[in-house]
Structure 1
């Protein structure tokens, strides 16, 4: 197993630790531990991809496990944030639903010998989503009062709406660009 695949596996292993810290609020500072784990896992995604491409270490395991580890991390974060009242369930359904639809398109395309690469809209969505999750975990509005609380609340709302809109836009782009995947299946 090469280094990028080890990093991807490490990210997948971090997911239960992240969920543990998100869910068990009896641990002092649990949200900060959860945030730390989430940030480490998120950066590991950046690192493993760069290493795999730079040193030509792309493998079938990595092609399968990297997006799976990403989805496990992000979906776990959104479900946990919904569970603690930091994210509306309708937003979580839209964001996770988009992931399922895109994964379905990719599976059908792969079965037909095609690879559907991530689009620019999808990449921007991912970055905004990761920032949104970090802000929602940190819950800085609860730490401060007055104007700072209001500004952080607005920023969080903008990130949630932006992430949701980017998810919808990138989903529509995938469908339009790849609609032939459905019609040309074996």
Structure 2
């Protein structure tokens, strides 16, 4: 019995629906974080904790949709593109808001966003040659970024001590380093993908 081709996998499936849900959660995360009025002891107000909860749910959908896509064979080109875009929207919103609130250096946000937006544009620029799925390094980058943002979002410094802030800074700097390195790796992938398309005379290549 032959295996159905990948293009027959329906775009409307549970994995892609979860990806779209993650995108829809971003406005709620932004709204809650901007509405928050932290307590005097630095423990954070109700909306801060709601923002943390929404962020946690959104990140969980990232793991869940990936697991479902792989286990049920629901991997689609839409998912390969939409999933990293959903991650970038959530991560980008969190970094920008933390910088606006004065809790994170702007240079960290700028470096990260330039990398993320640049790689997104690059993905679309080479899509005629093929889709660049998220690499292992890219997934590691997302994990470290997520952990760093969680540390910044959780209003625990006033409760557990100043060491918590130093931990958050250290993890965020590690996230920036991995972000830059994996960005360079994606550029190399794009170059190889284009060269491979040109060598095979792929119709999408202008030289074919």
Q: Does structure 1 residue 91 correspond to structure 2 residue 108?
A: yes
Q: Which runs of 4+ in 1 moved over 6 A?
A: none
Report deviation, 1:16: 0.8
* Cα deviations by residue, 1:32-82 (Å, 9 ceiling, x for unpaired): 111110011001011011101211122343233222221111111111111
Q: Which residue number in structure 1 is paired with residue 28 of structure 2?
A: 17
| Larger displacement relative to structure 2 (149-158 or 127-136) | 149-158
Size of the aligned set, in residue pairs, is 181
Q: 1:41 to 1:91 in 2, by over 3 A?
A: same
Partner residue of 1:179?
A: 191
- How far apart are residue 30 of structure 1 and its match? 1.4
**1:32-47 equivalent positions in 2, closer than 5 A:** 32-47=49-64
Unaligned runs of 5+ in 2: 1-11, 39-44, 199-204
Instruction: Tell me the alpha carbon deviations over residues 96-154 of structure 1, each in whole angstroms, 9 at most, x when there is no partner.
Output: 11111211221122122x2223222211111010001111001321333xxxx232122
Q: Which has the higher helix share?
A: 1
Distance, in Å, in 2 between the alignment partners of 1:182 and 1:142 is: 51
1:4 is the counterpart of 2:4: no
Which entry has the higher C-alpha Rg, 1 or 2? 2
1:152 counterpart = 2:168 = no
How far apart, in 1, do the equivalents of 2:150 and 2:107 lie? 19
Matched-pair contact (CA < 8 Å) for 2:77–2:131 = no
Runs of at least 5 residues in structure 1 that lack an aligned partner in the other structure: none
Taking the aligned partners of 1:68 and 1:57, their CA distance within structure 2 comes to 18
1:141 maps to: 157
- Which aligned pairs between 1:61-72 and structure 2 lie closer than 5 A? 61-72=78-89
Residue 180 (structure 1) shift: 4.2
Structure 1 position 176, deviation (Å):
3.0
- Give the conservation status (yes or no) of the 8 Å contact 1:24–1:30: yes
What's the TM-score, normalizing by structure 1?
0.88
